[in-house]
Amino acid sequence: MNIKDNIKLVFGNNFEVKGHSFGFPVSVSGEVVFNTAMTGYPESLTDPSYKGQILILTYPLIGNYGVPSYEYDNTILKNFESDKIHISGLVISDYSTDNSHWKSNKPLSKWLIENRIPAIYGVDTRMLTKIIREKGVMKGMIVNDDKIPDEYVEGNLVEQVSTKEKVVYGNGKYKILLVDCGVKNNIIRRLLVRDATVIRVPWDYDFTNDEYDGLFVSNGPGDPKTCTATINNLSKAIEGDKPILGICLGNQLLCLASGGDTYKLKYGHRSHNQPVIQNGTNKCYITSQNHGYAVDTNSIGDDWSPFFTNLNDNSNEGLIHKSKMIFSTQFHPEASSGPTDTDFLFDKFIENVIKYKKG
């Protein structure tokens, strides 16, 4: 590994820390966020929801189990959540130069360099996390060799990560139309094992006249209010009777499509240990999460109820329609990485699809 010392992380408030480079020697800008998960960096780095972000991992040792190989199952990569790395840059405390795992195919550093992703280690990530918790997420830069990058402008990140054409997976009994706003591979996997044919379409695809048994709205990056085409299409779908499930960004888009509102969280939820409670019950679940925006529960209409609530900050974690087969979650029931406690929600969705098909 070629270690360089002329690299630093600069926050939007001009606070900076110096460290060592173990990625591609380029300067980038982005929104600086943190994730407190202890494992799962191959999945996190390839999660499209991280598009445009410089990711701080708070777990102190990263890279110790390397990076798995690129293997496909049903044309879907088995060990990753998309076909490429989506983060803009990586910040960690200590990099493990000697990786050891039976599935390891290459070191993390080599993978980052191949994908032209800058990375810095040797910094106090806990201290950086405390700054973000106090000040909120902010723009920042990873600066290599004192070359200042262009200022980060978010724009419509969903458009950048969504599929550009219709793609069909599987040949199952239930026809699921998946609106790709930055979908994770494991969402598709969890639908395929439930006898579904998954029809993946672009974020702005007009599906209002298509034939399908159930509608799925995926996760994705950025501000949900930039997805006006998706919101307009969803508002028409909500008027119908077909089952709908939204995850993460999909939760926010369903809220906006039904006349509700969303807002930006101070520092987001990005971890494997977010506790949520199912409203109206005493059932609590530990969930995997990755989002920076949330639904304003006070804005939802009379036809909707909060489905889950975050036990850390009482923010909305899902919606459920009072009379139709429509529900959503802010967390990730498909996990990957993270706990699989809420995988049963895919069963609930397919059960709704079966009810719809039976009339």
Residue owning tokens 């239930």: 174
Does residue 170 sit within a domain? Answer: yes
Q: Are residues 265 and 139 in the same domain?
A: no
Question: For 212-237, what is the mean pLDDT?
Answer: 98
Residue where a domain terminates, one of 89, 116, 144? 144
- Note the pLDDT of residue 3: 52
CATH number at residue 91: 3.50.30.20
Is the confidence at residue 107, as pLDDT, over 60? yes
Cα separation, 334 vs 330, whole angstroms? 12
| 34 falls within a domain | yes
Task: Give me the residues paired with residue 139 across strands.
Answer: 31
What share of the chain has pLDDT > 70, as a percent? 99
Q: Are residues 184 and 285 in the same domain?
A: yes
Q: What is the pLDDT of residues 20-78, one digit of tens each?
A: 999 999 999 999 999 999 999 999 999 999 999 999 999 999 999 999 999 998 789 99
Q: Are residues 199 and 334 in the same domain?
A: yes
d(CA 89, CA 121): 11
pLDDT of residue 157 exceeding 90, the answer is yes
301 inside domain = yes
Residue given tokens 């990711």 in the structure block: 55
**Does some domain include residue 149?**
no
Domain co-membership, 81 together with 178? no
Look up 248 and say whether it is catalytic: yes
pLDDT of 301 reads 94
Name the active-site residue from 272, 291, 321, 332.
332
Considering only CA atoms, which of 227, 215, 291 is closest in space to residue 253? 227
Q: What percent of the chain has pLDDT over 90?
A: 96
Q: What gap in Å lies between CA 154 and CA 29, rounded to an integer?
A: 10
Identify the pLDDT of residue 12.
79
Average pLDDT of 328-334? Answer: 98
What's the mean pLDDT in 225-254?
98
Looking at the structure, do residues 29 and 105 belong to the same domain, yes or no? yes
Query: 3-class DSSP state for residue 186?
Result: helix
Are 61 and 99 members of one domain?
yes
The reported pLDDT for the residue numbered 90 is 98
Least trusted range by pLDDT, from 153-157, 184-188, 232-236, 350-354: 153-157
Query: CA 12 → CA 35, 131, 151, 219, 290, distances in Å?
Result: 19, 11, 10, 27, 22
Number of domains, the chain: 2
Q: How far apart are CA 238 and CA 97, in angstroms?
A: 51
Decide which of 98, 116, 144 is a domain's last residue.
Answer: 144
| 9 and 67 within one domain | yes
Whether residues 247 and 343 share a domain: the answer is: yes
pLDDT reported for residue 4: 60
Please give the helix or strand (H or E) that residue 4 lies within, else none. strand 4-11
Q: Is residue 152 part of a domain?
A: no
- What is the span of the domain harbouring residue 280? 157-358
Mean pLDDT of 174-198: 98
Residue linked to tokens 């998309």: 82
Query: Over the stretch 67-104, which tens digit does the pLDDT of each residue have?
Result: 999 999 878 999 999 999 999 999 999 999 999 999 99
| Residue among 248, 255, 269, 321 flagged as catalytic | 248
pLDDT of residue 194: 98
Plot region of 324 (φ>0 → left; ψ -120 to 50 → alpha; else → beta): beta
On whether the CB atoms of residues 197 and 170 are closer than 8 A, the answer is: yes
The CATH number linked to 333 is: 3.40.50.880
Q: What are phi and psi of 107, to 5 degrees?
A: -70, 155
DSSP letters spanning 217-270: E---SS-GGG-HHHHHHHHHHHHS-S-EEEETHHHHHHHHHTT--EEEEEEEEE
In a domain, 151, yes or no: no
Q: Are 79 and 22 in a shared domain?
A: yes
Answer whether residue 23 is part of any domain: yes
If asked whether residues 354 and 270 sit together in one domain, one would say yes
* Chosen domain end from 123, 144, 165: 144
Using CA atoms, how far apart are residues 176 and 216, in angstroms rounded to an integer?
7
- Which DSSP string do the residues of 20-54 spell out, in sequence order? EE-S-S--EEEEEEEE--SS-HHHHHT-GGGTTEE
**pLDDT score, position 5:** 77
126 plus 222 within the same structural domain: no
- Whether 93 is in a domain gets the answer yes
Q: In this structure, how many other beta carbons lie within 10 angstroms of the beta carbon of residue 9?
A: 23
- The overall average pLDDT reported for the chain is 96
Instruction: Say yes or no to pLDDT of 282 above 80.
Output: yes
For residues 313 and 177, membership in a common domain is answered with: yes
